Chain A
Amino acid sequence: MAWRQLRRDFAAGELRILLGALVLAVLAVTAIGFVTDRAERALALEANRLLGGDAVVLGDTPLDGVVREAARAPGLRSTETQEMPSMIRVGDADDERLKFGELRALGEGFPLRGRFRVVDTVDGPERDAPGVPERGTVWLSRAGADALDAKLGDMIAIGESQLRLSALVVQEPDAAIDYFNIAPRVFLNLADLPATGLVQEGSRLRYRLVVAGEPDAVEGFIRTAREGLARGQRLETVKDARPEMRSALDRADRFLSLAALVSVVLAAVAVAMAARRHSARHLSSTAVMRCLGASQRTLVATHGGELLLLGLIASTIGVVLAFFMQWLVGNWLSGALKMNIPAAGWVPAVQGYGVGLVVLLTFGAPPILALRRVPALRVLRRDLDRTEPSSWLVGLAGVAGLAALLWWKAGSAKLGATMLLGIIATLGVLAALAWGLISVVRRLRSRLRGSLRYGLANVSRRAATSVAQVTALGLGLMALLLLTFVRTDLLDRWQVALAKEAPNRFIVNVQEDQQEPMRAFMAERGLPAPDLFPMVRGRLVAHNGEPVKAAPAEGEPRSEEERRGQRRRDREYNLSSAATLREDNRVTAGTFWGQQRPEKPELSVEEGFASSMGWKLGDRVAFDIAGQRLEATVTSLRKVEWESFRPNFIVLVSPGALAGYAASYITAMHVPPERTRFTSELVARFPNLSVVDVDALLKQARSTADQVSTVVEVVFYFSLLAGLLVLMAAVNASQDERLLEGGVMRVLGGSRRQLRLAQASEFAAIGLLSGLTAAAAASLLAGVIATQVFGLPWQADWRLVGVGGGLGVLAAVSAGMFATRRVLDAPPSVTLREVQG
């Protein structure tokens, strides 16, 4: 019965619009799902290059057992590195240079992802290193070579070995920014390590197992390794290793989720509108079936079954089309980004089906249930009042269905909940405003004439339809604008953080009395005066009067979080002091001391750190600084944007509190790339300074940010296009009444122009209302999402609301005019026949 009904309706051309809307909706959700899924995985892969592999296990003891076993799984390659501190010696007895440095022995094949960038002379041209150092040779970090005054061909003494310097390393594939660690780094072949005689009982060796391969195999390895980790071992992810990359990647992920959510909202809108029309058009046939004795149950089974079949067919078409589409987009993207994009998974396809069926049934079922109540009389009198499906039922079912879908797609409870609340609030405001507009127009219309009166009268008279259209269009626009606003915020952020002028040198260990000469040195070279931040090293000794132990009393800390906390407790901290905060620091709780110098020492602590340490506002924390005790109260928590590439301190102390302690100063500055001699001149003038060159890291971060931005842009435009098409489908699905009335006006002698004016005025009113509301709602929601989900600062820009209003008018008028264009050129009898069916 359902099948027959479907075939009949299809043959009659009845299903074109619903099918079209549904296919488009599933296509949009699935294609965006495919693209975001692939993009997400590609970014994770790409970002992991910053670790030298796809997954890394760190340990204090040789990495044997489960982890080593897991690394041998098919589809995986693995290698290892070992690191330890060591003395580095250059030159012969008369002219010996010695420095304490970091030794890194590289296993064959390292790095599995990324590469070393090396030069032959300190300011020579960069190139990719081939593999690892050959046996008998070493590489030195460029800064290290500078500091040790070592040249290519020099012999470097490491332990008992003499190794020849064969390259200077500019960039390590897996280097983190650690501007406090300025020791030279030396790289040698792992096979040369035993001969140095440095590996002995008790040497402080760190082992690193690096794994890479097919995404599935890597995911399998991570699962197995996580369970089989032994004492002193941990999994490292790019997010631990590179905090400055973490927020960029997290935000990109969240943006992709947002895009996916937006596609669901749009799909729901389109399908809801089409389902509404579908049920309206089935009223007559239902009445006939009632006359012929069909039971309510038969009716529901027939129409429900038809809907289900339709949903399956449309979803299949949508998923297949989406697959081809993402294939094209994926190929293009991988070419454009020069990065390896993993193949599409099957999850988005399942989600596509789910969305298609859930949305169709949520929005299609209530009207069908309402069909049961169609009186048989409807067959006799076409003019009988339509049985509008009880709108609250549609609304409730819709919101519930949407909620479930959003939850499923969001991946983050916060994002899902924010979106859901935003949508409900927007719907409420839209409906209220729509009713408001309707009553205003009702009052106004007697003053209007002709086409305008007719057009605006429609807005107020077709109240239910108008409200439905305003809310549908408004919600759709809101979703698209939201995506636009968040995208703009996001990209701006990255642009600012990684601007050309971002600091590329960290200068460490400036002494108290070197501050002025430093400033003079910069001024002589036309460089801006550096901001110098004092830095005092202190060890945490007590929290709220309780002594902090170096290690917990019993057992190993269990969770990763605890371990991180443990590592942090053991560390020495760089305490700094400041009277004001830069814009990359934001106070999130308590009050910052500002210009008033507090009488007693106060602390301002980074919020994530405070929570991992269990510190709260008002807590008292004590540090041991060179044997003296400093106790201070936590009076504010801060959020820090680490990707700003500037010196940032987890713990800030109020001005004056550090006065008695010996401080050194640190600064970050931008040195134009053509000033190749800057570092050597600076070091020549102030030999105690350490200059850390982060150009290479910046470049890496920039290239990742560029890739992330491109992905965000592509997904954005893709979603925008899909969204506009889906909105068109939604508007198109609600034009029957207008087509009918247009036909009648044509009969009465209305000209093209008059009809257009009437329709345009109606669409413009609907568009303006939904556009303005959508833009206001999107601005607010973007604000909430930007600050709460993306951790971005946000400022309301009400000009955007005007832009949104304009966009709404444009969208409604063009989509509406397009949908009703038939009525202009077709003879009225054709229009009337078609629409009445």
Chain B
Amino acid sequence: MPHDLAMHTKVQPDPQRLALQVSELGKRVSLPSGALTILDGVGFSISHGDTVAIVGASGSGKSTLLSLMAGLDTPSSGSVLLDGEPLSALDEDGRARVRGEKVGFVFQSFQLLPSLTALENVMLPLELRGDADVETPARAILAKVGLGERLGHYPRQLSGGEQQRVALARAFVTRPAVLFADEPTGNLDTRTGQAIVELLFSLNAETGTTLVLVTHDEHLAARCGRRLRLDGGRLVTGERQAS
């Protein structure tokens, strides 16, 4: 039986709802050297199917914003609605459930589990949410990212680019409503990075996932439908650009 990824979609995005609604978001941390405001009064919304690039100087708060949107961190003020779910109202386990159902995340440093093979890494999010058949979709998507022959390999046996492909497969295999990527090409050389970008967008086109990514890479930012610029923890522009 040929596998159509759409068949495994569990959560169909509700077109009535916004994919993300961020309002008055602030993040402050207290350090021995004093209080530090990382994000301050950030607000915007993202519709389903949008592709958004978050850009800004290093240290401007991009990663922090992404973590807050994905529910990996808790804000000091303001709120995030992810596909209609108010993240701040949930406890850590509630957020984990939302992440498992609706979010995919790609890290700059891949964050594959070194103790699992490529296939097992991709199966993991499906296993965690209790799917009955976890192997078929995992194999299918690994084939799609070009690693059909490397299923049994461990992360350390893979190159950086290959690891990031596994990470992409892991992020997409659950058909997330929103996919977040934090400098997905930051640890890769230009050519490998480009290949990853192509793959990211082709998977995205196929699944219609909302894509939010942080990048320094102009080339990558340019391919997104929208660009959010952060400066010192504040949103400077949220212009829509022609793609």
Give A contacts to B, CB under 8 Å: 11, 381-383, 385, 449-451, 453-454, 457-458, 460-462, 737, 740-741, 744-752, 754, 824-830, 832, 836
Contact = CB atoms under 8 A, between A and B. Distances in A.
27 contacts: A383-B109, A383-B110, A383-B155, A383-B160, A383-B187, A460-B115, A740-B111, A741-B114, A744-B112, A745-B113, A745-B128, A747-B72, A747-B99, A749-B96, A749-B99, A749-B103, A749-B128, A750-B96, A750-B128, A751-B93, A752-B92, A752-B96, A826-B92, A827-B72, A829-B67, A829-B73, A836-B109
Nearest to B32: A11
Contacts of A11: 32
A383 B105 CA distance: 18
B83 interface: no
A698 B15 CA distance: 92
Contacts of B155: 383
A272 to B, nearest CB: 22
Nearest to A827: B73
A715 to B, nearest CB: 41
Interface string B92-103: 110111111101
A753 B154 CA distance: 26
A643 B75 CA distance: 73
Nearest to A743: B111
A453 B187 CA distance: 29
Contact of B115 (A741, A752, A836): A741
A556 B93 CA distance: 86
A450 B154 contact: no
B197 interface: no
Contacts of B160: 381, 383
A385 B115 contact: no
B72 A745 contact: no
A730 B92 CA distance: 28
B96 A383 contact: no
Contact of B100 (A451, A750, A752, A828): A750
Given A381-B160, A748-B100, 13 more contacts: A382-B109, A383-B163, A450-B130, A453-B127, A454-B116, A457-B120, A458-B115, A745-B113, A747-B105, A748-B125, A751-B93, A827-B71, A827-B92
Contacts, number: 106
Nearest to B129: A749
Contact of A457 (B64, B101, B116): B116
Nearest to B158: A383
Given A383-B163, A450-B128, A462-B114, A748 B92 contact: no
B115 A751 contact: no
A746 B99 CA distance: 8
B96 A751 contact: yes
A283 B67 CA distance: 27
Contacts of B113: 454, 741, 744-745
Which of under 10, 10 to 19, 20 to 34, or 35 or more describes the interface residues of B?
35 or more
Contact of B187 (A381, A460, A745): A381
B121 to A, nearest CB: 9
B99 A751 contact: no
B50 to A, nearest CB: 22
A748 B169 CA distance: 13
A462 B155 CA distance: 12
B234 to A, nearest CB: 20
Contacts of A752: 92-93, 96
A836 B111 CA distance: 11
B124 interface: yes
A638 B73 CA distance: 74
Nearest to A749: B100
Given A383-B109, A454-B124, A827-B92, A462 B99 contact: no
Contacts of A457: 115-116, 120
Interface of B: 32, 64, 67, 70-74, 92-93, 95-101, 103, 105, 109-116, 120, 124-125, 127-130, 154-156, 160, 163, 170, 174, 187
A461 B96 contact: no
A453 B128 CA distance: 11
A824 B72 contact: no
Contacts of B74: 827
Given A383-B109, A385-B156, A827-B74, A748 B115 contact: no
Closest 9 CB pairs between A and B?
A: A749-B100, A461-B115, A829-B73, A829-B67, A829-B72, A450-B127, A748-B125, A458-B115, A749-B99
A749 B125 CA distance: 7
Contacts of A740: 111
Nearest to B102: A749
Given A744-B111, A747-B105, A750-B128, A382 B116 contact: no
Contacts of A828: 72-73
B111 to A, nearest CB: 5
A821 to B, nearest CB: 12
A832 B163 CA distance: 18
B187 A747 contact: no
A749 B97 contact: yes
A449 B110 CA distance: 23
Residue of A462, A750, A836 with most partner-chain B CB within 10 A: A750
Contacts of A451: 127-128
Contacts of B130: 450
A462 B115 CA distance: 6
B124 A745 contact: yes
Nearest to B131: A450
A11 B70 CA distance: 31
A512 B85 CA distance: 102
Contacts of B93: 751-752
A747 B170 CA distance: 12
Contacts of B96: 746, 749-752
Nearest to A382: B109
A739 to B, nearest CB: 13
A680 B64 CA distance: 95
A462 B124 CA distance: 18
Contacts of A453: 120, 127
Contacts of B163: 383
Contact of A461 (B92, B99, B116): B116
B128 A748 contact: yes
Nearest to B188: A381
Given A382-B187, A453-B120, A830 B129 contact: no
A449 B93 CA distance: 21
A833 to B, nearest CB: 9
B115 A454 contact: yes
Contacts of A385: 156
A750 B130 CA distance: 10
Contacts of B154: 461
Nearest to A754: B128
Residue of B70, B127, B156, B174 with most partner-chain A CB within 10 A: B127
A751 B105 contact: no
Given A748-B99, A750-B100, A449 B72 contact: no
A749 B156 CA distance: 24
Given A745-B128, A827-B73, A832 B92 contact: no
Given A461-B116, A827-B92, A747 B111 contact: yes
A751 B97 contact: yes
Contacts of A461: 114-116, 154
Contacts of A751: 93, 96-97, 100, 128
Residue of B101, B114, B130 with most partner-chain A CB within 10 A: B114
Contacts of A832: 111
B187 to A, nearest CB: 7
B65 to A, nearest CB: 11
B9 to A, nearest CB: 16
Residue of B111, B112, B120 with most partner-chain A CB within 10 A: B111
A824 B91 CA distance: 11
Nearest to B128: A750
Contacts of B112: 744
A749 B128 CA distance: 7
A824 B105 contact: no
Nearest to B159: A383
Residue of A460, A747, A829 with most partner-chain B CB within 10 A: A747
